[in-house]
Amino acid sequence: MKRFFTDNTLNITSTNVIILVAVFFITFYNFAFFSNVLEVYPLNKKNIGFLSSLAFGCTGLFVLLLSLVCYKHTIKPVITLVFILSSLASYFMDSYNTPINDDMINNIVHTDFAESLDLFSFELVLYVVFLGLFPSYHLYKTNIIFKTGWQELISKIKLIVLTLLSILGMIYIFSDYYSSFFREHKPLRYYTNPSYYIYSSGQYAGSLFASSQLPLKKIGLDAKVPFSESHRELLIFVVGETARADRFSLNGYVKETNPQLKKENIVNFTNFWSCGTSTATSVPCMFSKFTASEYNKEKIHSTENVLDVLNHAGVNVLWLDNNSDSKGVAERVQYQSYKSPDINTICDPECRDVGMLVNIQTYINEHPQGDIMIVLHQMGNHGPAYYKRYPAAFEKFKPACKTNQLEDCSKEELDNAYDNAILYTDFFLSKVIALLKQNSSGFESAMFYVSDHGESLGENGLYLHGLPNIIAPDTQRHVPAIFWIDDNYDEIDVEQLKNKQNTQFSHDNVFHTILGFMEVESSVYDKSLDILHNSSD
Ligand SMILES: [Zn+2]
């Protein structure tokens, strides 16, 4: 056996290995990139030259990248690592047509094991075997020949210079195309594999380092709640997950997805927009004083949020989480995860959002003094395994897609699974309202529900979420937002608030609306952004 392999071992120079690997990458790992490119530049006589140059240029770029990191002792481990990671990236981009940006890397880092299992499939195994393990094995078996000392350096410099000149030459020849490619079709680059996820990892690591260097900026230290013997405030703020506004029948969706909420006297904001298109962006953003246009990851993570301001005002703050975590928002308040059956008593085996409600009454009873703000971070419509997000009794819309291979399901099946999960959220929210009604005698209470972002469900071949705001379709940013306010809250006229139902609002309004409801007085409060108290109408 050993002899067989020894005789068949390929002897090949390092330069040729780099070129071969680059060609292999462009051919097999960039299906999503080229299919997106072909939508903008269809394959015809006019575009063929540019398209070939693009394929050649991408190969060249990868040759340059590899030349810089591949040396005698690094070439095999580096390329093996890139094979494995790129096979995963390829699977993800080919399946969901969604690029791996720094937001996505952040999500991957913060995703727990159960969520990763949601993405597991037979196709994923095939990608890892054929694009990850198979080429790695052959690379391992190859005898890579390095020249000695200066000769190796000279041949590397030759390779780099020649590649660079060819790339520049092609950009010059097709300069019209490349200027449109770089300026008008910037998002196409997001699909290049592996260059874009390598770039994104760098971005992510950089911002992580930058925010770890920044000291925490305190805000709203002057916050106070005017003392009142007559009433206390109780707000339950529900952070929804991946819910689209257009899938709520309250917003005109043809399927009845809100049978419970429609029975309640709620204020339904029909024109509400998310800060970002991912949990990692939107959740910290909605609790921060910064608006979406001021969004900056380092700034947001190094500045206190609305929960801290409530803390300064002496409000009892509690965060219950049935999602991955609070994305750093609840770091300085009381926090409890409900992802495990040890804590969450309603798991089948998936731990349900309603499980978060079980101990709330006890918490309220144990805090006889001061106002109370409770955040519930839902699992909601977390994809792609929407069918796992609701108990069997909620499978009202059938047949429902029962796989994470969304492209294998018909559009109807996919919609059904997604809509059943919305139906379950409708039920969950009605339970939150019921809990608040129970506390009517002791509190002026309210529920404020808003989703973190929306979702693509196959429109234009796109699935999931996480596209940069600039190119994200409305379905990823138009979110449901609902207020329920107890009748005994005198300061707000619910019927009058309904006049604002179609006014455009966004996550920018969350910070100030929470402070407004809790009657917090502070210099950080901006009444014009408080949905309940501003006078936009
Ligand atoms: Zn999310």
| pLDDT tens figures, 200-224 | 899 888 888 887 788 999 999 999 9
Instruction: For residue 72, count CB atoms less than 10 angstroms from its CB and return exposed for 0-12, middle for 13-18, buried for 19 or more.
Output: exposed
| pLDDT average, residue stretch 304-319 | 97
Nearest to 217, CA basis, from 267, 157, 149, 289: 289
- Give me the percent of the chain exceeding a pLDDT of 90: 76
**Residue 229: pLDDT band with limits 50, 70, 90:** low
**What does each C-alpha distance from 27 to 23, 31, 34, 66, 445 come to in angstroms?**
6, 8, 10, 16, 59
CA 437 vs. chain centroid, Å, equals 34
Ligand 1: centre distance to CA 424 (Å): 17
Query: Who wins on pLDDT, 211 or 417?
Result: 417
**Residue 343: pLDDT band with limits 50, 70, 90:** very high
Ligand 1: centre distance to CA 304 (Å): 21
Reading the block at residue 127, the tokens are 């990608």
Ligand 1: centre distance to CA 332 (Å): 22
pLDDT beyond 80 at 9: no
pLDDT beyond 90 at 318: yes
| Type of residue found at 534 | N
Ligand 1: centre distance to CA 278 (Å): 5
**Residue 8: pLDDT band with limits 50, 70, 90:** low
Instruction: Report residues near ion ligand 1: CB below 5 Å.
Output: 241, 279, 452
Ligand 1: centre distance to CA 382 (Å): 7
**Residue 1: pLDDT band with limits 50, 70, 90:** very low
Ligand 1: centre distance to CA 465 (Å): 8
The predicted pLDDT at position 106 comes to: 76
Task: Report the alpha-carbon distance of residue 374 to residue 364 in Å, rounded.
Answer: 10
Ligand 1: centre distance to CA 314 (Å): 30
**Residue 104: pLDDT band with limits 50, 70, 90:** confident
Rg of the chain on CA atoms, in Å = 27
The predicted pLDDT at position 405 comes to: 83
CB of 271 closer than 8 Å to CB of 504: yes
**Residue 148: pLDDT band with limits 50, 70, 90:** confident
Ligand 1: centre distance to CA 457 (Å): 15
Ligand 1: centre distance to CA 54 (Å): 35
Ligand 1: centre distance to CA 97 (Å): 18
Task: Report the alpha-carbon distance of residue 231 to residue 23 in Å, rounded.
Answer: 71
User: What is the pTM for the complete model shown?
Assistant: 0.87
Name the average pLDDT for the chain: 92
| pLDDT average, residue stretch 13-25 | 94
**Residue 537: pLDDT band with limits 50, 70, 90:** very low
The predicted pLDDT at position 536 comes to: 53
Task: Report the alpha-carbon distance of residue 6 to residue 10 in Å, rounded.
Answer: 9
**Residue 43: pLDDT band with limits 50, 70, 90:** very high
pLDDT beyond 90 at 470: no
| pLDDT average, residue stretch 489-517 | 95
The predicted pLDDT at position 3 comes to: 44
Ligand 1: centre distance to CA 126 (Å): 28
